[in-house]
Structure 1
Amino acid sequence: MIAVSSLLAGKYDEYSRLFIEIPFLPCQPDLHTAPGGRYLKAFHKGSFDRLPGRYEEIFAFAEAHGLTLHEFSYETGINENVVDRIEDYIVQIEIPVKG
């Protein structure tokens, strides 16, 4: 997970937390739970060195549509268990929309 504030500052590799989906886990005080509500979702295919460009597109889209992104970006590898080449790797990016 990367804080939206870090992404907006151009710090695209400032991961501060690890995001893992755990079904049926009761809430616990030290666990972060993704907020409910709307998310802006995008996909990135290919090398991680091109991921900053996708984030720039996401922020441009959000600005053009009056969306305020907040908290953290959640990145999920879609096909990481079956991909042979980094060029085929797909990452789903989800960022909560405020309001």
Structure 2
Amino acid sequence: MIGLSEVERGDFTRYSHFYTQLDAPPRGLPVYVRQAGSYLTARHCGGYDSAHETYRDLLRYAREQGLPLTGSFFEDVLLDELSVSGYENYVLQISIRLDEAGWAEQ
């Protein structure tokens, strides 16, 4: 996860958290629950070295469409070394929640 403010500043390496999906929360440990809602999502082909291009595309698209964003970006690996040959063939899914309260203000 990378905060919206970090991405807006062009800092694509300052991850705030690493996460994974769980079938059930572990007992006695704090967990982060991804909020329900609408997300702006893009798929990036090309691995981590060029992922910043897709982050910038998402920000630009949100601005052009007047979509208010909130929270952190989520980065999910869809295809990695278990599925494809070559780091440059990795596929990432990058998403961020749309601020539905911000739509009401527009």
Check whether TM > 0.5.
Answer: yes
Which residue of structure 1 aligns with residue 103 of structure 2?
A: none
Question: What is the DSSP-based 3-state SS (H/G/I as helix, E as strand, rest coil) of the residue aligned with 1:49?
Answer: helix
Superposed CA offset, 1:24-56 (max 9, x none): 337977211111100000000013221111111
Structure 1: gaps spanning 5 or more residues: none
Which residue of structure 2 aligns with residue 23 of structure 1?
A: 23
Aligned pairs, number: 99
Which residue of structure 2 aligns with residue 89 of structure 1?
A: 90
Q: Could you state the TM-score of these two structures normalised by the residue count of structure 2? A: 0.85
* Structure (1 or 2) with the larger CA radius of gyration: 2
The one-letter code matched in structure 2 to 1:95 is I
* 2:47 and 2:91 in contact (8 A); partners too: no
Q: Which has the higher helix share?
A: 2
Shift of the 28–39 alpha-carbon distance from structure 1 to 2, 3 Å rule, reads: farther
In the alignment, the residues of structure 2 paired with residue 53 and residue 36 of structure 1 have an alpha-carbon distance, to the nearest angstrom, of: 26
In the alignment, the residues of structure 2 paired with residue 5 and residue 93 of structure 1 have an alpha-carbon distance, to the nearest angstrom, of: 15
The one-letter code matched in structure 1 to 2:89 is D
Q: Give the CA RMSD over aligned residues.
A: 1.7
Shift of the 86–59 alpha-carbon distance from structure 1 to 2, 3 Å rule, reads: same
In the alignment, the residues of structure 1 paired with residue 29 and residue 37 of structure 2 have an alpha-carbon distance, to the nearest angstrom, of: 21
Which residue of structure 1 aligns with residue 44 of structure 2?
A: 44
